[in-house]
A and B are shown apart, each in its own frame.
Chain A
Amino acid sequence: MTQKRTQENFLWHIRARQVPARALSVVYTFCLGGISFLAFVVLAVTGVLLMFHYQPGYSDGYHSVLNLASVIPYGAVLRNLHYWAGQIMVITVALHMVRVVWTQSYRPPRELNWVVGVSLLVITIILDFSGYLLRGSQESGAAATVAVHILQLVPGIGVGLAAAFFGHPTALSGSTLMIYVWHCVALPSVAFYLQGYHFWRVRKDGGIKPL
C-alpha cells in the first residue's frame, strides 16, 4: 500500500516513512529549519503579490511602497507580512546554524549539507539586504552606496560585480531594476533549489529514513 502510494503521489513520496525518535524531539531541532522554510513560503507568496503593485527605480520605488502601504487595499498587510517574514527568516536561519553547531550535526557524513546550509544563510542575508534597498528610502540609498563601495574593493572583479548586482543606485534611493530582478527572481530561485537539495540531503545523510 505504502509503496503504491509513494509511486502515485508526490506528496506521499516526500513524506517520511520512518523518523528517528530523537529527530522528533522539539528541543533537538526547535523546528528552526522548518520555521525558516515556512517563512520562505510566506515570503514567496506575499512577494509575488507585492510585485503586482511595486515599481522599481529611483523615483518610483519609494512612491510605490508608499502607495502599497497606504492606499492599495490590503497592501499594508501584505507588505508587513513580507517584512516580518523576512526578519523572522534571517533570525531563524541564524539560530538554525547555531543549533547545528550545538548538536554537532555538521560532522561527517553531513559536511556537504553544512556547506549548502551556509550558502543558504548567505543568500538569505543578501535577499534581506536587497529587500531593504528596494524600499527606495534615503536609508536604502545610503546602504546601497556603502555596499557598492565595499563590493568594489574586491580586486579585479569588484567593480563588475557591483554593477551587475546593484546597477547604479543613487545616494537617495537604493531601488534599481538590477536589484529588483536579483531579489525577486534570481536569488529566490537559487535559494529554492538549494533548499530542496538541503532537505533531500537531510534524509540522505540519515536524518529521516529511508531514502
Chain B
Amino acid sequence: MEDENSVLTRRNLLRIGWVSIIASGLLSLWPLSQYLTSSEDSLQSDIITLKISPLIGNQWYHIENTRVWLKRAGQGYAAILATCTHLGCEVAYNSSQQKWFCPCHGSVYNAEGTPIAGPAPRDLARVAVKAVNDTLIVNIGKVVGMDRQIL
C-alpha cells in the first residue's frame, strides 16, 4: 500500500495527526484555565449602600445578605466584618452577652471584636463607612484601623 517515494507516508500522516492533537490540547490549557478561573459572572462590588435607619443604635446591627454589622459610635458610625480571623467562618453577635461567637472552632470576641477565647489570632476587621446625607456607604474592601473607623 505504501508508496516509498511519497513524502507523506501513512505513518507520517498519522504521526502529524497525533502531534496536532497533542499540540492543540496543550494550546487549549491556557484558555481553559482562563475560562475556569473567571469570576466575571459573580458580584464583585465591595460597596454596600443603605439608608440610615433608626435601628442602627449603640448595639451592632446586621445588614442582611452581607457580613457587615453597623453601630453608632461617637458622632458617626462603625462597620465591622463578621468574618472570623481564624479560618473565615461567619461570626454572629450575641447582644445579651455582648460577644461575637464563631460557630466553627469556638472563637469568642468581645463587643469591640477583640478575641478573648478560641484560636482567633486577630481582631475582627473594621471597614470604611461613610455617611452621605441619609445614606451609609460601606466599603468592605477597605479595612481600616479602630481609630479611623468613624468617618
Give, as a whole number of angstroms, the nearest-CB distance from A1 to chain B.
18
Nearest-CB residue, chain B, relative to A60: B41
Which residue on A lies nearest to B36, using beta carbons?
A: A52
Contact of A71 with B by CB under 8 A:
yes
CA distance A38 to B6 in the complex (A): 30
CA distance A77 to B41 in the complex (A): 17
Q: Which residues of B contact A (CB under 8 A)?
A: 31-32, 34-36, 38, 40-41
How far is A49 from B29 in the complex, measured between Cα atoms in Å?
13
List the interface of chain A (C-beta within 8 A of B): 49, 52-53, 64, 67-68, 71-75, 77-78
Closest chain-A Cβ to B37's Cβ sits at a distance in Å of 9
Q: By the criterion CB–CB under 8 Å, are B41 and A73 in contact? A: no
Give the secondary structure class of B's interface.
helix
In the complex, which of the residues B35, B38, B41 contacts A64, with contact meaning CB atoms closer than 8 Å?
A: B41
Q: How far is the CA of A78 from the CA of B41 in the complex (A)?
A: 16
**Nearest residue, chain B, Cβ from A77:** B31
Q: Which residues of A contact B41 (CB under 8 A)?
A: 53, 64, 67-68, 71-72
In the complex the two chains form, is B40's CB within 8 Å of A74's CB?
no
A155 to B36, CA, bound (A): 46
- B-side contacts of A75, CB under 8 Å: 35, 38
CA distance A68 to B38 in the complex (A): 10
Residues of the B chain whose Cβ atoms lie less than 8 Å from the Cβ of A67: 40-41
Which of A67, A68, A72, A73 has the most B CB atoms < 10 Å from its CB? A73
CB nearest to A55 among chain B residues: B41
Cβ-defined partner of B34 (8 Å) among A52, A53, A64, A73: A73
Interface centre among B31, B32, B35, B40 (most CB of A within 10 A): B35
Residue of B nearest to A54 (CB): B41
